[in-house]
Amino acid sequence: MKILYIDMINSGISGDLFLGALLGLVDNPNEIVENLRQLNVYFSGVKKLQIELVKEERNGIFVNKLDISIEEKKHHRHVRDLKDALNTYLGDKYFSEAAKRYANEVLNTLIKAEAKVHNKLEENIHLHELSSVDTLIDVLGVTHTLEDLGFFDNNLHIYASKIPLGGGNVRAAHGNLPVPAPATSEIIKDSGLIVYPGPIDQELTTPTGAALLVNLKPILNSPHMQIRKESYSTGEKKFDDFPNLFRVFYGIKHLAEERNSSLYQYNQIVSVIETNIDDISGELIGDFIRLIENDVLDIHIIQSLTKKNRPGYIIKIICQPEKKLEIIDKTLINLGTLGVRYYDIDRICVEREVRKEDIKIDGELYTIRYKISYVMKNEDRIVINIKPEYEDLKKLRIKTHYSIKKLQMMILPKLYERNLH
């Protein structure tokens, strides 16, 4: 399992810090920067846009730094201008649907926070500090790097440290504001992120940085990992007693005793959520399953007998770690249970693919989908199981009048023969 650990202890987080560090992990940083330079054509009023990823010495080490120079006539843009530019760029550059959702969620988080702070409808606000093209540079750049690292394919788990917010005040369009800025406070409120004031009287966590992090739903813990890459970034500000060094670590989960096994590459962390109920109807349980089925990996309803000899159920849910608090909230609200247990565990989850095959039955050719699961050992693919899709078998039963059991007996030998050679 691949891991990204975001260490903000010595920096806080802003959009340019996050992007600068992530660019040090990907194979194509210059290509991403070159694409971002083209953002000027998606906005009116941008006369010049220059972006350079440079190395700068800080505290004796060379780190990434984004140099961004923008000349624009129009500074206060409407919400729809940013949304149109964002989604046109995402479409033109062929981002995945999951990446598009993340980028839009980050921008919507910023818009909602500004609207809440200024007590205006979202569509009526003008975004001041968030209206410049540099906001989209941060959002789209981070989205692009995360896509390259495999986050949107569920091939990367993200962990995060606690976050220093800074202190003092910051100059904004509405005058001096306390740190953290009201928009930043609104974004991190109820997010589950672990924050603390200080340690210096400067703004260390910005609204854009907070929005990028909140929408990743990171695991708030220090992972046990084998580091493959690390990357540092810094910003314009230099402080006497604070390094202002943002860093990220990229690697794989540490499993010392299993690392030589071919199954090592298939290790994942998932969350298990459990609760006991004995005073609820089957209809409500069924409704609860429908409510969460798209957000979980699996759910089991296990009959049980409680200590008072009353029949009950154990509800057991498996989900991605970043989803567990959301699922627990729905469990409490919809089942009325008084308590929920949860814990993270390792699991081995092998490769699987859905394929199509033309199968001849009684002289007629039928197309059937089937799921094949396998593991890779060195260069060899070891097939674990082959299973025809049940829905396709049902259609074949109607067309051929064979039972599903008979169809399985007829089809499986052909599928195994074609996939084992």
- CATH value at residue 415: 3.10.20
Residue type, 72: E
**Residue 259 falls within a domain, yes or no?**
no
Q: What is the Cα–Cα distance from 29 to 37, expressed in whole angstroms?
A: 13
Q: 133 and 68 in contact (C-beta within 8 Å)? A: no
**Residue 415 falls within a domain, yes or no?**
yes
Range of the structural domain that residue 305 is part of = 270-348
- Residue 310 sits in a domain whose CATH number is 3.30.70.1380
One domain for residues 361 and 340: no
Pairing of strands 175-178, 169-172: antiparallel
What integer pLDDT is reported at residue 21 of this predicted model? 98
Q: Provide the whole-model pTM.
A: 0.65
Low-confidence residues of the chain, pLDDT below 50? 257
What integer pLDDT is reported at residue 158 of this predicted model? 94
Of 13, 15, 6, which Cα lies nearest the Cα of 68? 15
One domain for residues 107 and 135: yes
**Residue 263 falls within a domain, yes or no?**
no
One domain for residues 247 and 277: no
Of 317, 333, 348, which closes a domain?
348
Of 332, 348, 364, which closes a domain?
348
One domain for residues 114 and 126: yes
**Residue 144 falls within a domain, yes or no?**
yes
One domain for residues 362 and 293: no
What integer pLDDT is reported at residue 272 of this predicted model? 94
Q: 15 and 142 in contact (C-beta within 8 Å)? A: yes
One domain for residues 339 and 410: no
One domain for residues 337 and 373: no
One domain for residues 245 and 232: yes
**Residue 302 falls within a domain, yes or no?**
yes
**Residue 261 falls within a domain, yes or no?**
no
How does pLDDT run across 37-72, given as a tens digit for each residue? 999 888 877 888 999 999 999 988 999 999 999 887
**Residue 262 falls within a domain, yes or no?**
no
Q: CA-based Rg of the chain, rounded to a whole angstrom?
A: 26
What integer pLDDT is reported at residue 257 of this predicted model? 46
One domain for residues 311 and 367: no
**Residue 264 falls within a domain, yes or no?**
no
One domain for residues 107 and 249: yes
Q: What is the Cα–Cα distance from 365 to 354, expressed in whole angstroms?
A: 19
User: What is the tally of structural domains in the chain?
Assistant: 3
Provide the token pair at 218. 């990171």
What integer pLDDT is reported at residue 175 of this predicted model? 67
Of 221, 253, 285, which closes a domain?
253
One domain for residues 310 and 369: no
How does pLDDT run across 402-414, given as a tens digit for each residue? 999 999 999 999 9
One domain for residues 397 and 325: no
